[in-house]
Homo-oligomer: A and B are copies of this chain.
Amino acid sequence: MSGPLSGFKIIDMSRVLSGPISTGLLADQGADVIKVEPPAGDIVRQMGGGKGMGPGFLTINRGKRSIVLDLKSEQGIDAVKRMVEGADVFVQNFRPGAIEGMGLGYDVLKAINPKLIYVSISGFGETGPYAHKRVYDPVIQALSGMADIQANDANDRPRMMRTVIPDKTTGLTVAQAITAALLSRERTGEGQKITVAMLDTMIAYLWPEGLAGLTMVGNEANVRTGQLAQDLIFKSKDGYLTCGAVSDSEWKGMCAALNKPQWLDDERFNTARGRVVNAPARLQATGEVIAERTTAEWLELLDSHGVPCAPVLTRPQILTHEQVVENNIVQEYNHPGLGRVRQARPAAQFEKTPTNTEQLAPELGADGAAILTELGYDETQIAQVLGS
C-alpha cells in the first residue's frame, strides 16, 4: 500500500453503488477499507453474473476486505463498534433513520471515537417528503433535470442517460469530501459528520452548465425545455465520427477539410453567433458532406486542418484505440476465481504515492476472522460472531 490514503482505515457499511464507489476510489489510493456485508452479501455481487463476484462488484470493491456481520444481533453491532474504535472513517447509505435504529448513529460512534469522520449518504436528503423513499438512479435523473436536458428538442419527450451518472458522481463527491475531512482533521484533530444526498449531488454537478439557465433570478421562465448541447455525431461512409468548430479558426479549418470554401462567405455561418443560431442547417449540411467518405479519411483531413474530431467508438473498440493503449488506462491481470480480467486504473496518477491498480475484490466474508483477530477477539468469540 503506497497510495495517498495509505494508513487510513474505513469501516464501510454502505451497499450497492454510491457508497462502495466512494470507498473503492479510496481503496485504490491505499486506504484499508473493511466492507461490512449482510449474510446474503451486497446485492451488486449478483449483478452481471460471476457467482457472487460480478464485474461491477469487482471494480467498485477491489482492494477491500469483507466481513459478514448480522446487524440484528448484539454481537454484530458490538463488532462494528470495536472496529470503529480504531478507524478513521465510517460510511453508511441506509435509508434515513435506519442506522440510528441499529444503534450505530453518529452520537453513539462519536462517543466511542471522537476523531471519527462519520459519513451518511442518502438518496434525497435526511428529511422531507422524499426522505423515506427507496432511491434508484433514474429517479434522481428525473428530479435533477438530467432527463429534461437529454430531450432532443423542446417538442421531444424527456430522456434518460443510459448509465448511472448520479450514483457514480455521488461516489466521487463523497470520496472528495472524506478526503477533505481527513485533511482538515490533520490540522484540527477533530472528527465530524458529513452528509451527502444524491439529489443535491446532481443539482450541484449540473449547475455550472446544465442548470446554468436558472442562475439569474427572474430569468427562469426563459429556460427552454429539452436539449442543451447539440448532438455532434455524423455518419460517415463506414461508421460514425464527431467533429466540431467553435472558434473562427476551427470553422475555417472545417470548411477547408470539407472542401466547402463557399461556407466561409455564407451569412448563416460566418460568425460564431450565426453558427449557433443556424446550428440545424449547419449540422445537416456538414452531415451530408461527411457521408461521402470513410471515418479514417475524414479524421486525417479534419486533424490536418486543426478541427477537433474523433471516431465514435463502440465499447469493445475502446480497448484497442491507439490513445487508450498509449495511456495504459486499461490493465489486465489474473483474478483467482474469475480468471483473466481487465480493470481501468484510477484516472489520477500520483508521482510519489501511486495507486494500486491490480487489486482483487474479496469473496463474501473472506476476511472476517482476520479482522476480528486484529480487534483482539479469540477463536471462540470469532466463531460466535461469525456464526461458524
Contacts and interface: CB of A to CB of B under 8 A. Distances in A.
Q: Helix, strand, loop or mixed for chain A's interface?
A: mixed
A17 B147 contact: no
A310 interface: yes
A206 B306 contact: no
Interface in A196-236: 196-197, 199-201, 203-218, 220-221, 223, 225, 227-233, 235
A316 to B, nearest CB: 5
A149 to B, nearest CB: 5
B339 A216 contact: yes
A164, A177, A210 — most chain B CB neighbours (10 Å): A177
A208 B25 contact: no
A48 B194 CA distance: 34
A72 interface: no
Contacts of A228: 162-163
A332 interface: yes
A41 interface: no
Contacts of A169: 169, 172
A322 interface: yes
Contacts of A158: 233, 240, 312
A203 B329 CA distance: 8
Contacts of A144: 313, 318
Contacts of A131: 323
Interface in A9-65: 17, 21, 24-25, 29, 48, 54-56, 58-60
